[in-house]
């Protein structure tokens, strides 16, 4: 089940933390998802570290909204017993996610195209060997103006993709902790209204057989950041990674994992799941 999370206002848990943006003046950003050829570096991205204020999303007087801020906090209780069981995820969690996103957006159709499980291992590199995927400590958006529609074409038959692209298309991730309350490397999300188009830097994500395009993000002091302190397993964040609508609604919500400076070394390492979906509206 899901509904918009509506919590009584409590003492705010705002904080300041360091976020990794992309440094200016480098060539087109590129990151390989596998061991790159010819001993090339895994990534040419140079981080630009900034200390920013991150606000408590539960303590806002107006609840974050997908079409305004580009993200939403929802209640989302799951019947899944083992999130590391791929069969159970697809059979039980996928239908739960589909129902939650339809309830939140009023969509006519939701197509789930993949999910990622993450378990933080201290000092480990993301996509490193047989280790689980790691939190991504860099401000980014999963899709771009170009790659959003292309993802529809990649995943669906040509005729069906063409038909669906005539209507409104969104790419929305559902993100939640597997174990909670989460204090280790939580997720921060930027208010999309504070992000300028010039802040978004098209970047290549290179796979073995295709090249995806994401946005890296340049620092802008106008950015307003939010997170969910001690996020519970009956909560989820919806993150808008693309929207074809150009009528003033939020289109891209930058996000990043960050180290919570109030959490000590004894907190349980983060375990989380994100499910990526294509969201279709006929009109």
In this prediction, residue 75 carries a pLDDT of 96
| C-alpha torsion angle, residues 85, 89, 91, 93 (rounded to 10) | 150
pLDDT, mean of residues 110-134: 89
pLDDT band with cut points at 50, 70 and 90 for residue 94? very high
Q: Which residue has the higher pLDDT, 41 or 283?
A: 41
Mean pLDDT score of the chain = 93
Beta pairing class for 30-32 and 200-206: parallel
What CATH number should be reported for the domain whose range is 2-281? Answer: 2.60.120
pLDDT, mean of residues 152-157: 97
pLDDT band with cut points at 50, 70 and 90 for residue 119? very high
- Of 22, 235, 272, whose CA–CA distance to 134 is shortest? 272
Taking the C-alpha atoms of residue 269 and residue 28, their distance in angstroms, rounded to an integer, is 33
In this prediction, residue 10 carries a pLDDT of 47
The torsion region of residue 70 among left (phi > 0), alpha (psi -120 to 50) and beta comes to left
pLDDT band with cut points at 50, 70 and 90 for residue 143? very high
In this prediction, residue 2 carries a pLDDT of 53
pLDDT band with cut points at 50, 70 and 90 for residue 1? very low
pLDDT at position 32 over 60: yes
**Tens digits of residue pLDDT in 219-262:** 999 999 999 999 999 999 999 999 999 999 999 999 999 999 99
Domain ranges within the chain, ordered by starting residue: 2-281
pLDDT band with cut points at 50, 70 and 90 for residue 9? very low
pLDDT band with cut points at 50, 70 and 90 for residue 38? confident
In this prediction, residue 273 carries a pLDDT of 98
pLDDT at position 53 over 90: yes
In this prediction, residue 3 carries a pLDDT of 60
**Tens digits of residue pLDDT in 186-220:** 999 999 999 999 999 999 999 989 999 999 999 99
Q: Is 260 within 8 Å of 184 (Cβ atoms)?
A: yes
Q: Which residue has the higher pLDDT, 66 or 41?
A: 66
In this prediction, residue 11 carries a pLDDT of 57
With 0-12 CB in 10 A as exposed, 13-18 as middle and 19+ as buried, what is 65?
middle
pLDDT at position 265 over 50: yes
């Amino acid at each position: 089940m899901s509904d918009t999370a509506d919590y009584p206002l409590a003492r705010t848990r705002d904080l300041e933390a360091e976020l990794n943006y992309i440094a200016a003046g480098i060539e087109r950003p590129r990151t390989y998802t596998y061991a790159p050829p010819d001993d090339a570096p895994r990534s040419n991205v140079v981080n630009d570290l900034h200390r920013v204020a991150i606000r408590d999303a539960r303590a806002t007087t107006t609840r974050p909204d997908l079409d305004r801020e580009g993200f939403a906090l929802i209640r989302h209780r799951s019947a899944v017993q083992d999130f590391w069981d791929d069969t159970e995820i697809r059979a039980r969690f996928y239908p739960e996610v589909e129902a939650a996103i339809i309830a939140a957006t009023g969509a006519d159709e939701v197509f789930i195209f993949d999910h990622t499980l993450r378990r933080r291992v201290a000092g480990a590199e993301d996509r490193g060997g047989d280790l689980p995927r790691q939190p991504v400590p860099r401000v980014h958006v999963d899709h771009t103006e170009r790659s959003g529609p292309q993802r529809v074409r990649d995943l669906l038959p040509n005729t069906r993709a063409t038909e669906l692209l005539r209507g409104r298309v969104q790419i929305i991730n559902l993100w939640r902790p597997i174990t909670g309350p989460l204090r280790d490397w939580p997720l921060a999300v930027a208010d999309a209204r504070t992000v300028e188009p010039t802040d978004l830097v098209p970047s290549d994500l290179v796979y073995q057989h295709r090249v995806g395009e994401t946005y890296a993000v340049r620092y802008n002091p106008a950015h307003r950041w939010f997170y969910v302190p001690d996020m519970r397993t009956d909560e989820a964040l919806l993150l808008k990674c693309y929207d074809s609508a150009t009528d003033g609604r939020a289109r891209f919500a930058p996000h990043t994992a960050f180290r919570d400076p109030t959490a000590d070394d004894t907190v349980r390492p983060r375990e989380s799941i994100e499910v990526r979906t294509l969201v279709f509206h006929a009109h």
